[in-house]
Copies of this chain bind each other. A is one copy, B any other.
Amino acid sequence: MAKKTSLINKADIDMFMTFDLSFNEEELKKYGLEFGKHCIETLNGKSELRFASHPYITGFIDGYEIDFVPCYRIKDSSELKSAVDRTILHTDYIQSHLTDEQADEVLLLKKFMSCVNTYGANYKVSGFSGYLCELLILEYKTFENVLYNAANNWHNMTRIDLEEYGTSGNFKDPLIVIDPVDKNRNVAAALSIQKFNEFIIAARNFLEDKDKLKFFQKHEINTTTCELKEVFKKRKTKCYILSISVPDLPTDVIYPQVNKTMNSLKRVSEMYDFSLLNTSYYLHDNKAYIILEYEYDILPDVKIHNGPRIADKINSQNFKNKYPDAFIMNDKYVNISPRKYKTVNEMINEVLKPENMSILKLGKNIKEEIINTGYNLSGVDEFIDNDAKCEDIDEIFLYLHPNYNIER
């Protein structure tokens, strides 16, 4: 709000209460929370104590959610005590550099980013933060010029260094934007390579399209269960949906764990020779849904099991004693051994048993939930017919049309 760059319906209000560095952290916390509480009560709001990197107090006042955050009044990043203090420096920098006209350009950029789903530095989106949008406007002056540069000039490790610190060579991210108030920080560090490239294509699509307005509206999804089932039927893949309850924790705690779980299932599937066309995941209503689309879900009962070299007499004799049907292939023994898992169903149900789980990397909370409340594994048709709510239908549609948000 101080920067005049907050989107309608998008902003919670943050109220920073700045303390002189002479206060110690105990005092800052005590006075900060007391003062915040007093303000909220004076305005007839309700207060609630919360904790992030350090504690703050939230007030619900006239329908707004306002965070009262105690922090230090620092002059530059060398005095930094916690990440929250940096916000003051960012606000100062933007206030002293961004013109009112540019603030409007920031609003356009943020709204566009929001509609093409690249806005937000949280783990779920892994996109562009508000501050990053502001710096992009400072660099490129206008919304359209940001898009023009993204569309035509951006490539992996694109560098922006407004204060010419010369430190951008220290980073290897897709986009490197040196923080004007901290030369050792990349403001775009949380931006994934996926969202970086999605924004580039969204920019190209926008610049080529005559109907620009559409890009400032959400792309509504309009599909049916029949339509989705038809796509999978045509592909002739074997698609499964694994659903797991997740505890009520911040999304930035849960999302990385679900992502880790998906990647681990992918790795284990390939280890057991079940090759995947594609995977994805999404969360809603305290449940995580992992989509696993296999190329086939049945393998033969046997596989080639490589043994030692023939020249290694002791090991090759041990191998032959253990596997009497072992035979020579070139310079080593091999055996045609029973396969551990012959179907995808069998494999997933086995590796998710508490005694076998250690083969997977699940994340602490996901692991606990599976042990305590189990999971559900369905074929995608069965899932669509029996379990899918509107959100699931939309998410499965987006899985099948991954570019949908950046196209109009």
State the A residues within 8 Å of B (CB).
151-152, 154-156, 174, 193-194, 196-198, 200-201, 204, 234-238, 273, 275, 277-278, 295-296, 298-304, 310-311, 313, 316-317, 325-332, 336, 342, 401-403, 406
Contact = CB atoms under 8 A, between A and B. Distances in A.
A156 B311 CA distance: 7
A403 B327 contact: yes
A326 B402 CA distance: 9
Chain copies in the assembly?
2
Given A194-B330, A328-B198, A278 B301 contact: no
A224 B57 CA distance: 82
A197 B330 contact: yes
A296 B300 contact: yes
B277 A330 contact: no
Contacts of A300: 235-238, 277, 295-296
A336 to B, nearest CB: 7
Given A204-B313, A327-B402, A402-B327, A302 B237 contact: yes
A210 to B, nearest CB: 17
B296 A193 contact: no
Q: Across chains A and B, which 4 residue pairs bring their CB atoms closest together, nearest first? A: A155-B311, A327-B402, A197-B310, A236-B300
- Identify which of A301, A311, A328 gathers the most chain B CB atoms within 10 Å of its CB: A328
Nearest to A276: B304
Given A196-B331, A235-B336, 16 more contacts: A154-B311, A155-B311, A156-B311, A194-B329, A194-B330, A197-B331, A200-B310, A235-B301, A236-B300, A237-B302, A273-B295, A277-B300, A277-B336, A296-B296, A328-B402, A328-B403
Given A174-B331, A197-B310, A278 B304 contact: yes
Contact of A299 (B278, B296, B325): B296
B152 A313 contact: yes
A386 to B, nearest CB: 23
A258 to B, nearest CB: 19
- Identify which of A198, A201, A273, A299 gathers the most chain B CB atoms within 10 Å of its CB: A201
Nearest to A232: B300
26 contacts: A152-B313, A154-B311, A193-B330, A194-B329, A197-B310, A197-B311, A197-B330, A204-B317, A234-B301, A235-B300, A235-B336, A236-B300, A236-B301, A237-B302, A238-B300, A273-B275, A273-B295, A277-B302, A277-B304, A278-B336, A295-B299, A295-B300, A296-B296, A296-B299, A327-B403, A328-B406
A219 to B, nearest CB: 14
